Structure 1
Amino acid sequence: MDGLLQAILLGIIEGLTEFLPISSTGHLLIAQIWLDRRSDLFNIAIQCGAILAVTLVYRERLWTLATRWHRDPEIRDLLGKIVAAFGITAVLGLLAKRLGVALPETVAPVAWALIIGGFVIFAVEAWLKRQPVRSQIGWGVAFAVGIAQVIAGVFPGTSRSAAAIFAALLFGLTDRRRAAEFAFIVGIPTMFAATGYELLQTLTDPVARIREPWRDLVVAFAVSAAVGFAAVKWLLRYIAEHSFVPFAYYRILLGAVLLTIGG
Structure 2
Amino acid sequence: MKQYALLFSLLALVSCVRVEVLDAPWGETPQPVLFAILSPSTPVQVYLGMTNTVNDSLLRQCYPEAALYLRQDQGAWVALTRQSGTNTFSLTHDSLLPVQQGVTYELKAVLGQDLPELTGVTTVPAEVARIASASYVVTDTTVHFTYKGDAVQGRLQVQWNKLDGQEGGYHLTDDTGESLDVVEGQTTCTVRVNDYLLPRAADGLTLWLTTTDAHLEAYLKTVDLVRSFDDLSGHVITDILSAYAGVLPAFSNIHQGVGLLGSCVQDSFTVRLTNYAND
User: Which has the larger share of helix?
Assistant: 1
- What range is the shorter-chain TM-score in? under 0.3
CA radius of gyration, larger in = 2
Which has the larger share of strand? 2
**TM-score scaled by structure 1?**
0.24
